[in-house]
Amino acid sequence: MKTTSLKLVLVSTPIGYLGSGKGGGVELTMRSLIKGLLSLGHKITLLAPQGSVLPSDCSAAEIRHVPGIDQPSWQHQEVSAPVVIPPDGVLLGLWEQALELGKESDAVLNFSYDWLPIWLTPRVEPDLFHLISMGAVSQVMKTLISELSKSDPSRLAFHTYRQASDYELFGEPVVLGNGFDLNHYDFQPLGGGPLGWAGRVAPEKGLEDAVAVAAALGDRLLVWGVMEDPEYAKKIESNFPPGTIDWRGFLSTAELQSQLRTCRALLNTPKWNEAYGNVVVEAMACGVPVVAYDRGGPGELINSGFTGWLVPPDDVVAMTEAASQVGMIDRKECRNWVENSASHDGFARRVESWIKKGISTTKFPKG
pLDDT at 364 over 70: no
In angstroms, the CA 13 to CA 30 distance is: 9
In angstroms, the CA 268 to CA 282 distance is: 12
| CATH 3.40.50.2000 in the chain, residue ranges | 7-179+343-358, 182-341
Q: Which CATH class is domain 182-341?
A: alpha beta
Q: How far is CA 84 from CA 87, 92, 229, 364, in A?
A: 9, 12, 22, 36
Predicted pLDDT of residue 363: 47
In angstroms, the CA 140 to CA 356 distance is: 29
pLDDT digits (tens, 9 = 90+) for 140-189: 999 999 999 999 999 999 999 999 999 999 999 999 999 999 999 999 99
Amino acid at 60: A
What's domain 7-179+343-358's architecture? 3-Layer(aba) Sandwich (3.40)
pLDDT digits (tens, 9 = 90+) for 91-137: 999 999 999 999 999 999 999 999 999 999 999 999 999 999 999 99
